[in-house]
Amino acid sequence: MAKAIIKPVFTESGRRLSGVIRAVSSKSYAHRFYIAAALANADTQVICNDISEDIEATRDCVNGLKSLKRAREALAGEFLSSDESVLIHCRESGSTLRFLLPVAAALLENESSFKFTGTGNLPERPIGELMDVLSWKSVEFSSEKLPFSVSGKLRSGDFKISGNISSQYISGLLLALPLLKGDSRIILENKQIQSESYVEITRDVLRRFGILTMRTEYGYYVKGSQTYKSPGRIEVEGDWSNAAFFYAANKLGSSVELTGLNHNSNQGDMKIVKLLENWGEPEFKNDEFDMVIDLTDIPDLFPILAVVAAFQPGTTVFKNVERLKLKESDRIESTKAMLISLGLWRNGFELFKNSLVIEGGFEYLKGGIVKSFNDHRIVMAAAIAATRCKGPTVIEGCEAVKKSYPRFFEDYKKLGGDVVVSL
């Protein structure tokens, strides 16, 4: 297990990071581009400057499924022979599993099958409702949890699914349904979609590959027998989810400039800019709390926003936090443990039903030993918190950053951070 040891940096203007870095490639877009490219009618060059472990998992799974040539054969109904099976190893990537499961089901022919597996806590992460939806359309699973084999041919039609569990279920279906012969509808059993911006990223990628979908009052309409058309070359834009950590650092006194970001992006985590610039303004407060943040569409921002909240005067409430328990770690507990390890009062972090309250007002935290819980966002949040700690911060299991931002500590050091990573 690797450790990152971060010491306070003293400058004339205080403890801070300073400089210019380029944002890493968007993991959300990269997953979808690699899948769409594999399904396209011709070769597609995907320009991705940063290959994290999660992106690598999707890319390798797609290559394991087929070469681009075999993908085109799949659309002609010649994907697998009756005695052939393909292993799809998703590693620890929930996105890879949830996107490729419907796609694989759409590509199945005859008596063929796919074998899905994963590592870490991926076998424990929920996919039950997605499996149920696919089972209703003739797909069979050998087990209720990973590892399992998938067989049967996905049929078009109506897919009823809850929108408030995981947007990735909907994205996976949107990627798969154009491959089927008949038209399909995704019918949302409630009006609200968790993280709807991620579904819009999926639809944006589909549009770029010539696939049309329609947002309707009941959910989504997808015409069948569509062809993924290669754009020839496509570049992955910068990632707002990871850029958020350095925007938060600026809120805490650093001066970091990020390049390579699309300021008209479909990425919902771009909201970090507005939240930080208007912290405590009337738009984000009420009579009871100094800052109110709804995490429905931006759950991945919670760890770093919780760090910011600790240093802002007053009380911050985070609404709709239940889904945080289902991430790489239980991010309610892992974020709480991280902040308390650094010096937040235990009663300064309280959970009430589906909301969480943080009592802030700290000028500095003391520093301490933080466990990563094998969660990349906990590691990066702790590293940013360390810029406002009086003593050293030690992050155990810091290698978790490889899931989404492999060069995080290189950039951190480039910006003036005093960090040593050791095994």
Distance in angstroms (rounded) separating the CA atoms of residues 181 and 190: 27
32 closest CA partner among 202, 231, 204, 226:
202
Q: Which helix (H) or strand (E) holds 331?
A: helix 331-342
Q: What is the CA radius of gyration of the chain?
A: 22
Distance in angstroms (rounded) separating the CA atoms of residues 226 and 353: 44
Which tokens in the block code for residue 386? 């360390």
- 3-class secondary structure, 15: coil
Distance in angstroms (rounded) separating the CA atoms of residues 383 and 370: 10
Catalytic hit among 54, 269, 290, 300: 300
Q: Write the DSSP string, 261-326.
A: --TT-S-GGGHHHHHHHTTTSGGG--SS-SEEEE-SS-GGGHHHHHHHHHHSSSEEEEE--GGGGG
Distance in angstroms (rounded) separating the CA atoms of residues 11 and 418: 12
**Residue 158 is among the residues annotated as catalytic for this protein:** no
Quote the crossing angle between the two packed helices 376-385 and 240-251, to the nearest 10°.
20
Distance in angstroms (rounded) separating the CA atoms of residues 417 and 407: 14
Distance in angstroms (rounded) separating the CA atoms of residues 164 and 192: 6
Cβ atoms within 10 Å, residue 96: 29
- 3-class secondary structure, 148: strand
Categorise residue 314: left if φ over 0, alpha if ψ from -120 to 50, beta otherwise: left
Burial of 199 (0-12, 13-18, 19+ CB in 10 A): buried
**Residues forming the active site:** 300
